[in-house]
Amino acid sequence: AQTVTQSQPEMSVQEAETVTLSCTYDTSESDYYLFWYKQPPSRQMILVIRQEAYKQQNATENRFSVNFQKAAKSFSLKISDSQLGDAAMYFCAYRRQDDKIIFGKGTRLHILP
Amino acid sequence: NAGVTQTPKFQVLKTGQSMTLQCAQDMNHNSMYWYRQDPGMGLRLIYYSASEGTTDKGEVPNGYNVSRLNKREFSLRLESAAPSQTSVYFCASSEALSSEAGTYEQYFGPGTRLTVT
């Protein structure tokens, strides 16, 4: 069964610094999709970044980038120049070929001014 | 476009009561999902529907039933509510991988906070 593990329940980072959130997953598939979602206190789920497993290049979106290590089944999120608005829960998600999507338990990120 | 809508936003039930959570999307997506979110547990998949006419169990289906009424609507029913079903419920939709187009990200509704006493 596929599982998604986020080993850091909470993290803190100083404003303007860089932080990396980790995610590992277990799968026997060779092609799949990975996502990071952000959930601020409003509870709304917001897509941060996506990665297609068959693409070797790491995805980037402005201050957000991933380190995708397919062999290690690792998909970490790096946030550069952290801002107060980045404070939120962050969820890693895995999408299987049958369209089932599994989430990790999340990492709560605190930004220290 | 309204995106994904859910009703109701809040609900309080007594143990043993039944209710249906409604979800609709206007993005012509094939795939729809129901999750529950509990503190420290992340989002856990209850049921999903990869396409109209199909439904499949997720990680925590016990105590729930679903209906994919048409392409737009996917409802979640609690036949006999239990305190363990107190949670925030999210509906989501996305393009199916079989569509071979799009970003395949999920679009979420605003959630329903359900309390069972």
Q: Write out chain B's pLDDT in tens, 117 residues.
A: 679 999 999 999 999 999 999 999 999 999 999 999 998 888 999 999 988 889 999 999 999 999 998 999 999 999 999 999 999 999 999 987 776 767 788 999 999 999 999
* E-assigned strand segments in chain A: 3-5, 10-14, 19-21, 24-26, 33-39, 46-52, 60-61, 64-69, 74-79, 88-95, 101-103, 107-112
CB pairs under 8 A between A and B: 58
Residue B54: predicted pLDDT:
92
Subunit contact B48:A104, Cβ cutoff 8 A: no
Tell me the CA distances in angstroms from A96 to A1, A35, A100, B38, one per residue in order.
Answer: 11, 12, 5, 23
Q: Is B47 on the interface with A (CB under 8 A)?
A: no
pLDDT at B103: 75
Examine the pLDDT at A53 and tell me if it is beyond 80.
yes
Mean pLDDT of chain A: 94
**What chain B residue is nearest to A5 in terms of C-alpha separation?**
B42
| Among A9, A95, A106, beta carbon nearest to B104 | A95
A35–B41: do the CB atoms touch at under 8 Å? no
- The first and second tokens of residue B58, run together, are 């997720």
Contacts of B110 in chain A (CB under 8 A): 43-44
Residues of A in contact with B33 (CB under 8 A): 101
